[in-house]
Structure 1
Amino acid sequence: MLKLAPILAAVLYGIAYYMFSAWRTRQQLDQRSAELADAQLTRVLEPMAEALEVPRIPVYLYEIEPVNGLAAPDGRIFLTRGFYNRFRQGDVSAEELASVVAHELGHVALGHSRRRMIDFSGQNAIRVASAMVLSRIIPGFGPAIANLLTGMLAARLSRQDEYEADAYAAALLTRAGIGTEPQKALFRKLEALTQGGTPAPAWFLSHPKTAERIAAIETLERRWQPQAR
């Protein structure tokens, strides 16, 4: 029983840390955001709302400069000021920005925020258990190897979430009559928009590679074509 105590403590820590992080994120979002009122974007989001059979899709503007979109644990969708500025400058179209909203809606609809609490707790337990075992086999290096392996697992789970949200967005955009071209076009721009540096190996990235994301969407399109005839 004593041997399981560190693992149980790691699980409880994971749950507590996730809940604290969610609370802190909600506080920051509440303090630094307001609902975005943009007529052009609203017009593009209207057919998406119709496809979802909801009155409207509220989007909030988060006052930070990095180019990003995010789904809060409470289900709200945010675009950063940096992303919105690129839209106002003409670097991103309204349809491309709508594809970001569709992607974040996918995270909400598929329960990724809630699942991350379970994932994080499990990863902490795996990290502690691995460190205990590896420290006996490779003294001095066990914790470092455990952290490396757990990081690879976390990146893989995160990439799977991104693929699922991409698929949801592709289906929603197609049903709304917008199509997937804006989604794929934005993927091609993302590295320049986010000023990405030298890419890390794919297994360390929390987001899949651009070419792989586009290929996954095109696979879906081919699968849907016979149904559209």
Structure 2
Amino acid sequence: MSPRHLIPALLAGLFFSQIHAFDLGGMVKAGSKAVQAATLSDADVKSLSDQACAQSDGESKIAPAKDKYAKRLEKIAKGLGSEINGQAINYKVYLTSEVNAWAMANGCVRVYSGLMDLMTDDEVAGVIGHEIGHVALGHTKKAMQTAYAVSAARDAASSSGTRAATLADSQLGEFTESLINAQFSQSQETDADNYSFDLLTQRKLKREGLVTAFQKLAQLDGGDHSMLSSHPASADRAKNIEQRLAAEKK
């Protein structure tokens, strides 16, 4: 799950330094999509999230309602609430050994059974709160804008004749993967951690699970998802929450 970083100058270089090699009509279409990426409306973001979530669900084994993982997540979810910024949350479990969880701007929250096997209910709640935080704080929308712009650049590279590749078909799978695998900046990760802490506090849930969740993640070897990245390191993230807990006791 590799991060994809968009640098405007690089994108411009792709568009204009190689313009002789591609169809101009296809380049203009792709360039227009890149411009739109910076100004995606909330409706656009929701529509793209709907497509991406459906794409991921279609390629994953989802725990049925009566499955033990689904029942456990339902219990955890009740404590966290049913909305993100007014958007209804749709929780599901993917049956896979992978340790992961993510959320999209349309309220699509997915938790992997591998993560649930590793963690207690309080820890899972803390991780979900973190992923919800990325949505609530606008980080997920920014990641989508970047992913959409990258798909536009690839449209330019594959333009032929009067047709450029479109997100709705050839790019959807890769676009979905880039959203699920999105990595965030150190400040965004810390902000999402603090959002989870505040959410757990508001919902009167135990915050200590955030500490132990990060401690467990710190013991894992590598991993491409942002929750496993070292920016900031999981141990430092646990320390941040410990300091917040300690500050309340003073």
TM bucket (normalised to shorter chain) is: 0.5 to 0.7
Q: Which has the higher contact order (CA 8 A, sep 6+)?
A: 2
Q: How many residues align?
A: 180
> Once superposed, which parts of structure 1, at least 4 consecutive aligned residues long, lie more than 3 Å away?
4-16, 21-26, 33-45, 50-54, 117-124, 218-226
Question: Do residues 65 (structure 1) and 97 (structure 2) align?
Answer: yes
Q: TM-score, normalised by structure 2?
A: 0.54
Aligned to 1:210: 234
C-alpha contact 1:158 1:207 (8 A) present in aligned 2: yes
C-alpha contact 1:35 1:58 (8 A) present in aligned 2: no
The 5-angstrom pairing of residues 182-201 of structure 1 reads: 182-192=209-219, 194-196=220-222
Aligned to 2:185: 158
RMSD between aligned residues: 4.4
Question: Do residues 103 (structure 1) and 130 (structure 2) align?
Answer: yes
Identical-residue share of aligned pairs (%)? 27
Q: Any gaps of 5 or more consecutive residues in structure 1? A: 125-153, 200-204
Aligned to 1:174: 201
Instruction: Name the CA distance, whole Å, in 2 between partners of 1:52 and 1:113.
Output: 12
Structure 1 residue 44 displacement after superposition: 3.8
Instruction: Name the CA distance, whole Å, in 1 between partners of 2:134 and 2:205.
Output: 20
Aligned to 2:143: 116
Aligned to 1:45: 77
Write the deviation string for residues 78-108 of structure 1: whole angstroms up to 9, x where unpaired. 0113223x1xxxx421111111221111122
The alpha-carbon distance between structure 1 residues 72 and 47, as it changes in their structure 2 partners (threshold 3 A), is: closer
Structure with a larger share of its residues in helix:
1
User: Given residue 180 of structure 1, which amino acid in structure 2 is its aligned partner?
Assistant: R
User: Given residue 187 of structure 2, which amino acid in structure 1 is its aligned partner?
Assistant: Q
Q: TM-score, normalised by structure 1?
A: 0.58
Write the deviation string for residues 120-168 of structure 1: whole angstroms up to 9, x where unpaired. 57899xxxxxxxxxxxxxxxxxxxxxxxxxxxxx96x533222111111
